Structure 1
Amino acid sequence: MTTLTQRHLHARTPRLGLFARLIAADRAFRQRRAMHRLTDAQLRDIGLTRAQIAADTAQPVWDSPRHWRA
C-alpha cells in the first residue's frame, strides 16, 4: 500500500456495519422511550419539557446524535 493510499483511508469517516447500525438504532429507540416515560418532576430536574421530549421521540431512530451511535 502506498503512503497516498494510507492517508486516503485514514481520512474517511469509518462506517458502521449493518449489525452495529441495528444495535445503535435499538439503543436510540430505547433511550427515547425511557425519556418519554419520565415524570414531569424528573423532566424539570434535567431541564426538559414534555414538548421537547415529544419532538425528540417523534424522530426516526436513524436520526440520532452521533454520540448515541458510539
Structure 2
Amino acid sequence: MEHTSQPLVRSRHDRMLAGVVGGIARRFGWNSNLLRVIYVLVSIISAGFPGILAYLILWLLIPEEGS
C-alpha cells in the first residue's frame, strides 16, 4: 500500500511569522492554532526547551512552500 504525504514546507498562507508551525500542522493534519498555543506554552513552561532557538533553526531548514 502506497502512502503519499505532503512534504514538510513552511506555509505561505497559514503563518504568524515564518509559516513554520503552519507548515508542520498541515504536514501532520493538526490544527495550526492549537499547535501554536501548545508550542508557546511548552516554550514558556519548560526552561529546557529553547523555543525561540528551535523556531529559528526550523525557519532556516524548512523550505518555503512553492520554492
- For normalisation by structure 2, the TM-score amounts to 0.32
Higher Cα Rg, which structure? 1
- For normalisation by structure 1, the TM-score amounts to 0.31
User: Which protein, 1 or 2, shows the higher relative CO under an 8 Å CA cutoff with sep ≥ 6?
Assistant: 1
